[in-house]
A and B are shown apart, each in its own frame.
Chain A
Amino acid sequence: MQLHYGVDELKAIDWMAILPIILPFMAVGFILILIALIDLYRNRKTRKNIFIWTLLILLCNIIGPVLYFVIGRKDGRTY
């Protein structure tokens, strides 16, 4: 039996036509992840659970960076 979700079937998509449309969309998500990771790296001394936050930022599509910005940046603050 042939599986329908073959990797080689991805070639059937016309990537060049899709790329200009989908690239800005992916760039936005990527920027969000990048800002979160850079902030995490620069404050790596004061943050707790760095490894878990890294995984969360990378794996949870859009909620991850947002949660990091809201909750994750709290413990470094002193006031």
Chain B
Amino acid sequence: MNSLGVLMKKEYSQVLRDFKVIWLPLVFVFLGATQPIMTYYLPVILEVLGGTQGISIDPTMIEQTGGQVLAATLGSQFDQLGIMIIVIAMMGLIQSDKSSGMLAFILTRPVTVSSYIGGKLVFNYLLVSVSVGIGYFISLLYIHFLFTSVELSQLIGALLCYLVWVLFSVSFITMLSAVLNSQALIAIVGIITLLICRMLVGLHPMLDAVNPAGMSQHAMNLLISGSIGANLSINLLVTIIWVLLTVIITHYWILQKKFHES
């Protein structure tokens, strides 16, 4: 049996033991459902709790299309709390193996570093993207009931764009997990860097092109306006280069570590 398959199976049993396979989708379902419900009930909440004198709410201002709400789900739920959850879930990816001596043990076996990283990355990316997909779908279900429906092609296109940004997040945290030794440090550096990436989006077109979080912006644009942004292909390419770079750094770092120990 090839070693990638074995390592992915190991990863699966690890994830099962951590309950990650249960709670990660649940969290994203929760996040996905939050935005449509909040948006839908905002007028009611304001009306009942806000008092009636002084302010008046123009009902046409609050009415949003399904695409806008779905974009808001991506932008204000998945990109903030969602990113934090992904970082927290993935921060021990290589670090826990390092601290328990498992990494050194695995590397004494006839297993290449690349298949070790590959198994980790592929399995965990699949887990996260399935979770994000389920959350997205639940959000869509609510939007379908409470708002207008969204066109299928935009829907899938936006999800694919968004998953590229998720891929960058996961590989970036894997790199941090290999390089740094403390979980708290990994979490703080990961969350801050990814949130800063997300905040920098929209400042300047040049910056957007090299920013992996630009993919998230493209997904939102696709949902709001229905058209693909101008430099989607450049951004996609740059993001894939970023992902490869993080994977190469992880690979290099683990190889170096092995050299020092032997």
Contact = CB atoms under 8 A, between A and B. Distances in A.
Given A31-B26, A32-B23, A66 B88 contact: yes
B100 A66 contact: no
A4 interface: yes
A4 B49 contact: yes
**B interface majority secondary structure:** helix
B61 interface: no
A9 B49 contact: yes
A79 B88 CA distance: 21
A70 interface: yes
Interface residues of B, number: 33
Counting chain A residues whose Cβ lies within 8 A of the other chain, the interface size class is 20 to 34
B141 to A, nearest CB: 10
B50 interface: yes
Contacts of A79: 100, 102
B183 A32 contact: no
B86 to A, nearest CB: 11
A66 B44 contact: no
Given A4-B50, A21-B37, A35-B22, A70 B30 contact: no
Nearest to A17: B44
Interface string B15-40: 00011101100110111011001001
Given A13-B44, A25-B30, A62-B30, A69 B19 contact: yes
A66 B85 contact: yes
Contacts of A5: 49
B18 A32 contact: no
B179 interface: no
A24 B33 CA distance: 9
B110 interface: no
Interface string B78-89: 000100110011
28 contacts: A4-B49, A5-B49, A9-B49, A10-B48, A13-B44, A18-B41, A21-B37, A25-B30, A25-B33, A25-B34, A25-B37, A28-B30, A32-B26, A35-B22, A39-B19, A62-B27, A62-B30, A62-B31, A62-B85, A63-B85, A66-B23, A66-B85, A67-B88, A69-B19, A70-B89, A70-B91, A71-B183, A79-B102
